[in-house]
Chains A and B, each alone.
Chain A
Amino acid sequence: MSSLDGPVSAAALHDAHDIPSWGGGSLPYAVPSKKLGMWLFIVSDAITFSAVIFAYGYLRLAAADWPRPFVAASIANATVMTFVLLSSSVAMVLAVRASSLGKVSGAVGWLVATALGGVIFDILHIREWLGLIGEGVRPFHNPWGTPMFGAAFFTMTGLHMLHVTIGVFYLLVIAVGFGRRKFSATDVEVSGLYWHFVDLVWMFIFPLVYLLSAKTT
C-alpha cells in the first residue's frame, strides 16, 4: 500500500498549518467571498475586453488605410476625460478609506463624488460621439478610410461607456445602502475594485484608440 500513501501524507502535512474553519474562523487566503467574487468577475470581464482589443488589433494590422482622424482638440478632450476618470478613482480610494474608518457621511460623500466623475466622463464622451457622428462616422462607414474604424471605435468605447454607466448606478446604490448602514465597508471596497478596473480599462483604450489614431501632419 505504500505507493498509495502520497496524497495522505501530503494532506497530513497540510494539517499542521492550514485548517480552514467553518463560519467565524479564519478564511483561507483571508479573502471574503464577495471580494473574491468581484476579483473573478474582473478577470472574466478583462478577458472580454481583451478579446475586443485583440479583434481591433487584428483588423487594424490587416488594414492598409486605417484612418488617424483625431486632431489636437479631440486628443485634448480625451485627455480631460482621462483626467476626470483618474480623479474619480482617487475619490474612490478616499471613499474606501472613509468607510473602513467608519466615517459614514465622508464615505457617502466620496462615493457620490466618484459617481459624479463617471457622469462627467459619460457626458464628455457622448459629446465626442455626437461630434464624430456629425462628421459622418458610422459603425459601417466613415469619411476617411476603412469602415472598420467606426466599428472598432464605437464597439470599444461603447463597451467601456456601458461599464462606466453601470458603475455610476452601482456606486449610487452602494452610497445609499452604506448611508443607511445596510452595506458594510467591504461592500464599498468591492465596488471600488470594480471602479478601478473600469478606470484601468480606459488606460488601455485611451492610447490604443486615441493616441494611435492621432492626426499626424
Chain B
Amino acid sequence: MANMPMEAQSHHHTAPTGFIRKYIFSLDHKVIGKQYYFLAIVSVFLGMVLSWLVRIHLVWPNVHIWGLGALSPAGAPGGVISPEYYLSLLTIHGTLMVFFVLTTAPQAGFGNYALPIQIGAEDMAFPTLNMLSFWVTFLALCALVSTLFVEDGPPISGWTAYPPLSAVGSIAGPGQGMGQNLWAVSIALFCIGSLLGALNFITTTVDLRCKGMTLMRMPVTCWAWLITAILSLLSFAVLFAACVLLILDRNAGTSFFLPAGLLVNGQLQNHAGGSPLLWQHLFWFFGHPEVYIAIVPGFGVISHVLSVFSRKPVLGYKIIVICLLAIGFLSFTVWGHHMFLSGMSPYSGFLFSIPTLIITIPATIISLLWLGTVFGGRLRFTTSMMFALGFISVFVTGGLGGMFLAQPSLDIFLHGTYFVVGHFHMVMGVAAIFGMFAGTYFWFPKMFGRMMNERLGKIHFWITFIGVYCIFMPMHFIGLEGMPRRYSSFVSEVMQPLMPVHKFMTIAALITGASQFIFFFNLFWSMYKGTKATENPWESTTLEWTVPSPPPFDNFGGKHPVVYHDAYEYGNVQSGKDYVMQTDPAEQPARS
C-alpha cells in the first residue's frame, strides 16, 4: 500500500518522443491542460460569432449575412436568419459557452496545467484517464458542432433543452430531429468526460501532495479546483441520467418527460405518464452547481492573483476556504429558484428562496476579503491584476441582480425577461471569463515560456471591461421594462421604444467581440515572439514558480519538492525579497 503513488506514476517517468504521444494522445497533464485550453478557445470563438449573429438578427432582422445561406439553406435562406434559426444559433451559443468554455478552461484547462505542479506532484493520479476525459470531451464538442451541418440545423430548445419541445422529435420544429439527438449525445459524452476529470482531480489533490504540502498550505486555486471537482462529480452524474432518459424518450418511445394528450403542431402525441417538470428538476439539480463549477475556479485564480500583485497574503485564507466549501454545499440546495415559474407551490418557492439568499453571504464575504487583500498593498498593475480587479467589479454587479431574482415575488416578473440574461451573463459568463483572462495573463509565461505583451493586454482589458458593461447593464434595464427573452423579434409597439437600447448593445457586442482579436493576436504572437520568461517573473511564492518556464516533462526534473511555508508569504522584506517561496527551507518555521 505504501508504494501506491509510485505505482500510479511509475509508468510514465520517461518523456515520450513521438509527435502523437507527445502532443496528441499525451498523458502529460501540462499538454492535456493546454489541449483543454485550446478547445475552450475554439469554442469561445465560435460561441462569440454566434452571439454576434444573434445580436445582429435582433436589431437588423433583414440583413444578409455572408455564408450563412450556404451553411443552412433552410434556416437562413439567402443569409437572412429565420426566427427558428435564431433559436438554433442561441442554443449552440449557450451550450458551447456554458459547457465547452466555462466548464472546460477554468477547471480542466488551468486546473490540469497548474494543480499537479502547485501541489508538488509529477502528474495527475490517473494520466490515462486524464487523456480519455479530454478526448471524450473533444468528441462531445464534435457532436455539438456537427449539428450546424445536419440538414435541419441545430436544436431550437436552448441550452436547457426543456421538454416537451426537446423530447417529442422532429415534429416540434427544425433541429428537433437529428440536431436534438446529437445535442443529447454530446452532453451525455461531456458528462462522462467531466466525471472522469473530477474523479482524477480529487484523487490527485488528496493523494499526491508533496512532503509538507498540508491541505491548509495549498494555494486557494487548488482548493477551488478541488471543490469544483467535487461539485462536478456530484452534479454531472445527475445530468448524465437526465440525458439518458431524454435520449430514451426521443428514440425508444418512453415518456419520462412527456405527459398524455400532448398536441404538437396539430398532431396528438402518442405519449403518456411523464412530466416535463421532472426534466427541470434533474436539469437544475445539475444546473445550479454548474454555475459554481464555472465560477469557483475563477474565485481561486482571483484570490491567487490579487495576493501576488498586492504583495500581501490572501486576507482570511481559512475563511475563504470555508466560504468556498459553504458555497459548494449550498449550491445543491437552491435548484428550485430556476423553477419559480413552473407553478410550484409558494411554500416550495419560499423554501428555495431562503438558501438562495443565504448563498450570497459567503460570496459577499469572499468579495470583501478580496478588497481587504488589495487594501494597503503595494499594487502591481499587470494585465492579470487588472482582470482580477475587473472580476470583483463584474461579479459584484452581476451578483446584485441575483438578490432580486432570488425572491419569487420579483422573479415571477423578471424571469422571462432580459434581466435574467443580463444577470447570468454578468455573474457567470463575464466574471468567469475574466477569471480565465487573469489566469491566462498570469500563467502564460509558465505555460509557453514567454511573456505576453502587457500594452496589448491593457488595451484588451479596458475595451473588454467597458464593453461588457455596455452590453449587459442595459439588459437589466430593458428587463425591468418587461422585454421578454428568447424572442427573435419585437413587433409589439410597446417594445419598439426600447429598440435603440438593443442597437446600442449590439454595437457594443460587436466592438467588444472585435477587441478579443487583440487577445487572440497577443496570445499567438507572444507564444513565438514574446520576450523569454524567467523562472519566476511575477515574484510569486507557489511551487509552479520554482521550476523552469516551461517546466520539464516530470515538472520537478526528478527532484521531490518539500514545502516549508504557507502559500502566500508576501510583504516581509527579508534578504532583499518581499516574498518567501513555499520551498524555501532557510526561514522555517514560517512565523511561530
- Name A residues whose Cβ lies closer than 8 Å to a Cβ of B: 1, 3-12, 14-15, 18-34, 36-37, 40-41, 43-52, 54-55, 58-59, 62-63, 138-140, 146-148, 150-151, 155, 159, 184, 186
With both chains docked as a complex, state the minimum distance between the C-beta of A93 and any C-beta of chain B, in angstroms.
19
Q: Are A6 and B318 in contact (CB under 8 A)?
A: yes
Extra contacts, 4 of them, besides A33-B125, A37-B125, A184-B7 (Cβ < 8 A), are A7-B318, A33-B126, A37-B129, A148-B255
Q: Could you say which residues of chain A place their CB within 8 Å of the CB of B562?
A: 22
With both chains docked as a complex, state the minimum distance between the C-beta of B439 and any C-beta of chain A, in angstroms.
22
Q: Are A10 and B273 in contact (CB under 8 A)?
A: no
Asked if B2 lies at the interface with its beta carbon under 8 angstroms from chain A, I say: yes
Q: Are B233 and A40 in contact (CB under 8 A)?
A: yes
Q: Are B256 and A59 in contact (CB under 8 A)?
A: yes
Asked if B237 lies at the interface with its beta carbon under 8 angstroms from chain A, I say: yes
With A23-B560, A27-B4 in contact, do A11 and B207 touch (Cβ < 8 Å)?
no
The stretch of B238-246, B408-416, B462-470 in contact with A is: B238-246
Interface size on B, residues (CB 8 A): 77
Contact among A23, A26, A32, A40 with B202 in the assembled complex (CB-CB below 8 Å):
A40
Asked if B209 lies at the interface with its beta carbon under 8 angstroms from chain A, I say: yes
Q: Could you say which residues of chain B place their CB within 8 Å of the CB of A1?
A: 571-572
Q: Are B245 and A4 in contact (CB under 8 A)?
A: no
The stretch of B156-164, B309-317, B452-460 in contact with A is: B309-317
* Bound-complex Cα distance A140 to B249 (A): 9
* Those 8 A-B pairs whose CB atoms lie nearest each other, nearest first: A140-B253, A148-B273, A51-B241, A7-B317, A151-B254, A32-B4, A47-B237, A44-B237
* Bound-complex Cα distance A8 to B317 (A): 9
With A139-B248, A186-B4 in contact, do A11 and B590 touch (Cβ < 8 Å)?
yes
Asked if B364 lies at the interface with its beta carbon under 8 angstroms from chain A, I say: no
Q: Are A41 and B199 in contact (CB under 8 A)?
A: yes
Q: Are A27 and B2 in contact (CB under 8 A)?
A: yes
Contact among A11, A55, A63, A159 with B214 in the assembled complex (CB-CB below 8 Å):
A11
Q: Are B248 and A32 in contact (CB under 8 A)?
A: no
Closest residue to A6 on the B side, CB-wise?
B318
With both chains docked as a complex, state the minimum distance between the C-beta of B307 and any C-beta of chain A, in angstroms.
11
Q: Are B318 and A10 in contact (CB under 8 A)?
A: yes
Closest residue to A66 on the B side, CB-wise?
B273
Q: Are A51 and B242 in contact (CB under 8 A)?
A: yes
Q: Could you say which residues of chain A place their CB within 8 Å of the CB of B234?
A: 43-44, 47
* Bound-complex Cα distance A48 to B253 (A): 21
Q: Per-residue 0/1 for B108-142: is the Cβ within 8 Å of any A Cβ (1 yes, 0 no)?
A: 00000000000010000110010000000000000
* Bound-complex Cα distance A22 to B583 (A): 14
Q: Are B207 and A36 in contact (CB under 8 A)?
A: yes
Closest residue to B569 on the A side, CB-wise?
A8
Q: Could you say which residues of chain B place their CB within 8 Å of the CB of A15?
A: 212, 214, 589
